Structure 1
Amino acid sequence: MATRVLKILLGLLLAIVLVGTAWLCTAGKPLLFVASGSVSQGLCDAVFVSRVDPGRVFREQHAPLMRGIGWAIRWRVDRAHDEVHASVLGGFGARAVFRPGLGCLLMHGDGPVPEAAGFAPAFVASPFPDRPVASDDPAIRQALDRAFAEPDPAHPRNTKAIVVLHDGRLIAERYAPGYGPDTPIWAHSLTKSLTSALIGILVREGRLRLEQPAPVAGWRSPGNPHHAITIDQLLRMDSGLPFDETDDALNPFARMAFLERDMAGYAAQMPPAHAPGTVWGYSNLGYVLLGRMVTDATGGNAVNAERFARRELFAPLGMAHTVMQADADGTLIGSSGSYGTARDFARFGQLYLDDGMVDGKRILPEGWVAYSHSQTLDTGYGAGFWLNVKNDTRVPVWDAPWGMPQLPKDMYYARGAFGQYVVIVPSERLVVVRMGISLDYGDDTGDLVAAVIAALHHQPRS
């Protein structure tokens, strides 16, 4: 009897091993490469771009997302070669390499690193003081206290930075331990708003037109199903490309970001889901293609594109620590590949509050700011920014609110995953930036901004 039971157990164990092996060699293989790729990329950025503790970033950002396989992930920082390596179950290895001025690059294979030398960026002066500015208003300090508090340990906020500008002045800021005014933080989809601004600069210079068919090499033939897609539709996410950031672990965005060397090439081949201009769908694919347009218009490689961004946008604003990363094909990752400090992004928000002007110089085309927060179809999205005009419906697929109903209707904002926000309130002459690693982030930023507005209304107007 015991022998029979043992045989049955051994048979079941063998079946499990065979099924597991088959899964690892087929459907599971890309998932595990996504896991190792995301860890190596994220921790390379933590070590060499943000210069924060990679172990803490892994615990806060990666381990909770890996769920059942976190125990199987191993990572190693190679400071001698400016690399981070990661693996799952001892295999499925990935490495990310730091390139000066360009941030980290996720490598596919062991080949040479493109543009490995990077470049030495020109110094950008910050308009802010060296030390953090604390508010002298108890109500504003209390609002920041609440934003940094952790009322639910099971769902940590992990707020890292908050910056408040009023009338263009820095009136309050706060940082988590290990972070400060000079700490670049992963901006996630705040990058889309930067990309929109860079497209605007190229429009101002006459190198692109919003209504023109998108200059994507594979789309030029009139018979191509993408041929009619315009730059405007890519900015507005009504190009017809599919909603690409879903709960599926291998959604098009994850595959593009962690498995593809040429991200724009992958995006260009994605079949349209709808006719252009008819349906809104969140589109990392479209913003990677916009990043390719910026790259093509400024020299065709990562170094020239990054220099253009610094010269035309970051330097005039005093965004001293911002970097937009590129893929292995040299394309600016216009969807999600930027790092910057909360102060940097506050200056970016102020550019929009000031109608695209800095110190009397026009950065964005006249009318571009109004265009950026004009409504797309019947949604709460503009052209690179979210709006506060829709409270009757929710974002499709995500079932999330479009805006922040507790704030004025004229508010619009840039938003990125894990709780990155640049909130612009023209009627209050206010910009609030909140950045963190918040995997279960709710409506806290709306409450923060509402509290700041309430505090300002209790102060005498200057």
Structure 2
Amino acid sequence: MGDGLDRRRLLLVAGGSALAWGAKAQPTEGVASSPLATTPENQAATFRSQDQTRPVRAIRCGTNVRRLRPHARQLSRLSYPHAGATRSLDDYMTRRRTGGVLVLKGGEIALERYGMGNGPESHWTSFSTAKSMTSTLAGVALQDGAIRSLDDPAERYLPDLSGSAYEGVTVRNLLRMTSGVAWKEDYDPTGPSDVVRLGAAMEAGRPGGVLALMRSLPRAAPQGARFNYSTGESCVLGAIVAAATGRSLADYYGEKVWGPAGMEADGYWQLESKDGLELGGLGVSARLRDFGRFGQFVLEDGVVGGRRILPVGWRDLAGQPDIEATGFGKLQPGYPLGYGYQWWVLPRQVGSVHDGAFTAQGIFGQFVYVHPREQVVAVVWSAWRNAWEDDAELETYALLGAAVEALRT
């Protein structure tokens, strides 16, 4: 997939670096104060325990749990080709420091495996996979009528954005990350980085600090003309959903998705400050099966028990590029994926095992993979020692591709 250097730098800080400066509480023994300041020994415990280092709000589950029955074909001996060799699932999990793997076919469990000290009741932080959850909530708000149109300007819902570079930017272009508002999501030893400023706003712990930062940014391009990955942009989108619905993201998510989709346990969402806004770009923690149920909810286009929660066709709208700026191979040179509405989209290639699939991604190797044509959902938790590893991404897609093929017959 090319060297992807610039994108890796983006993902390095997406959902991670803000936490590095934003940790406020004293962690318990064996948990690092930041997910970027871990050792090999405490990394998994830190990923399980992000509620100990940030203020959070619970995402409440309902009373009816969606049962995930075993699939007739089990993949416990799954193998796959990679780098000229045939690899086993056990080998993958050991080398890639895998905390959990779940594969669903038609809503049934074909593979469930834990590592790094995790078990079925463990929570794990999502990093930037939360962006895809925020996008999904925007779709729910559209279906509810709380958001009138994706082509409404941001200031219709957040009047304080009037007079800023976000004035006139549509909700749709926020979903695409094509606002045209300047944002540098990178470590830069020679100059300022906006994600560092985001972390500082979190560390200050002042309600409204993140939006104040976003209002201060200048314009860099016409909206819709350029893709620019921005955790801050996802936070703006989350704030719009909260303002439009009059609900916190966690409460709205619990009522509209977490409960109806049959999650088995409460999740939690990190906040910018105590009792403040959820961080729309990061910070949802939940059990492995509940991440799988979220993917299944999206795969099924937001229909639960005959009740429609997402607009008709939302899955296919959100799960593919819809303008040139977010098209396949357009995000950066040498990287073939496209971008939908806060989802990464695998190339549409006839005959490819991944044709039609899209995925949420988070640093250190977090994936929620949705493949509508094959009716497959997969979740991968990882504790990579680098924030992003190109070869590990390729190997993960090889593993998931082998799972898709094995479940075809």
Instruction: Check whether TM > 0.5.
Output: yes
Contact 2:179 2:223 (8 Å CA) reproduced: yes
Partner of 1:254: 196
Partner of 1:384: 342
Letter paired with 2:257: L
Distance in structure 1 (CA, Å) of the matches to 2:93 and 2:233? 34
**Which of 21, 24, 33 is the aligned partner of 1:37?**
21
Over 3 Å counting, the alpha-carbon distance change for 1:248 and 1:288 in structure 2 is same
Spell out, residue by residue over 1:51-88, the C-alpha distance to the aligned partner (whole angstroms, 9 max, x if none).
xxx626679852469xxxxxxxxxxxxxxxx996xxxx
Superposed displacement of residue 370, structure 1 = 1.5
Over 3 Å counting, the alpha-carbon distance change for 1:450 and 1:83 in structure 2 is closer
**Which of 233, 243, 249 is the aligned partner of 1:296?**
243
Superposed displacement of residue 226, structure 1 = 2.8
Distance in structure 2 (CA, Å) of the matches to 1:122 and 1:454? 33
Distance in structure 2 (CA, Å) of the matches to 1:426 and 1:97? 35
Contact 1:406 1:446 (8 Å CA) reproduced: no
Higher relative contact order (CA 8 A, sep 6+): 2
Contact 1:324 1:337 (8 Å CA) reproduced: yes
Query: Are 2:66 and 1:127 aligned?
Result: yes
**TM-score using structure 2 length:** 0.75
Q: Secondary structure at 2:160's aligned position in 1? A: helix
Partner of 2:104: 165
Partner of 1:366: 312
Aligned pairs (5 A) from 1:170-181: 170-181=109-120
Partner of 1:430: 376
Superposed displacement of residue 321, structure 1 = 3.2
Superposed displacement of residue 270, structure 1 = 1.3
Over 3 Å counting, the alpha-carbon distance change for 1:97 and 1:187 in structure 2 is closer
**TM-score using structure 1 length:** 0.67
Query: Are 2:259 and 1:315 aligned?
Result: yes
Spell out, residue by residue over 1:390-413, the C-alpha distance to the aligned partner (whole angstroms, 9 max, x if none).
89xxxxxxxxxxxxx964221111
Distance in structure 2 (CA, Å) of the matches to 1:411 and 1:312? 24
Q: Secondary structure at 1:149's aligned position in 2? A: helix
Distance in structure 1 (CA, Å) of the matches to 2:122 and 2:374? 28
Aligned pairs (5 A) from 1:271-286: 271-286=218-233
Partner of 2:177: 237
Spell out, residue by residue over 1:17-66, the C-alpha distance to the aligned partner (whole angstroms, 9 max, x if none).
xxxxxxxxxxxxxxxx978635556x85xx6xxxxxx626679852469x
Letter paired with 1:453: V
Contact 1:182 1:321 (8 Å CA) reproduced: no
Superposed displacement of residue 339, structure 1 = 1.1
Partner of 1:454: 405
Q: Post-superposition, which runs of at least 4 consecutive aligned residues in structure 1 deviate over 4 A?
A: 33-36, 38-41, 56-61, 96-100, 121-125, 132-135
Superposed displacement of residue 254, structure 1 = 3.1
Superposed displacement of residue 170, structure 1 = 1.4
**Which of 37, 44, 54 is the aligned partner of 1:62?**
37
Letter paired with 2:167: H
Partner of 2:121: 182
Contact 1:207 1:297 (8 Å CA) reproduced: yes
**Which of 73, 81, 101 is the aligned partner of 2:58?**
101
Distance in structure 1 (CA, Å) of the matches to 2:68 and 2:315? 28
Q: Secondary structure at 2:113's aligned position in 1? A: strand
Letter paired with 1:306: A
Distance in structure 2 (CA, Å) of the matches to 1:122 and 1:456? 30
Contact 2:180 2:224 (8 Å CA) reproduced: yes
Partner of 1:445: 396
Contact 1:60 1:437 (8 Å CA) reproduced: no
Aligned length: 348
Partner of 1:340: 286
Spell out, residue by residue over 1:282-339, the C-alpha distance to the aligned partner (whole angstroms, 9 max, x if none).
0111110111112223336xxx442221011111112333222221272121001211
Superposed displacement of residue 350, structure 1 = 1.1
Q: Secondary structure at 1:172's aligned position in 2? A: strand
Contact 1:371 1:382 (8 Å CA) reproduced: yes
Superposed displacement of residue 243, structure 1 = 4.5
**How many percent identity over aligned positions?**
27
Over 3 Å counting, the alpha-carbon distance change for 1:217 and 1:360 in structure 2 is same
Q: Select the structure of larger CA radius of gyration.
A: 1
Unaligned runs of 5+ in 2: 1-16, 41-49, 80-86, 331-337
Query: Are 2:78 and 1:140 aligned?
Result: yes
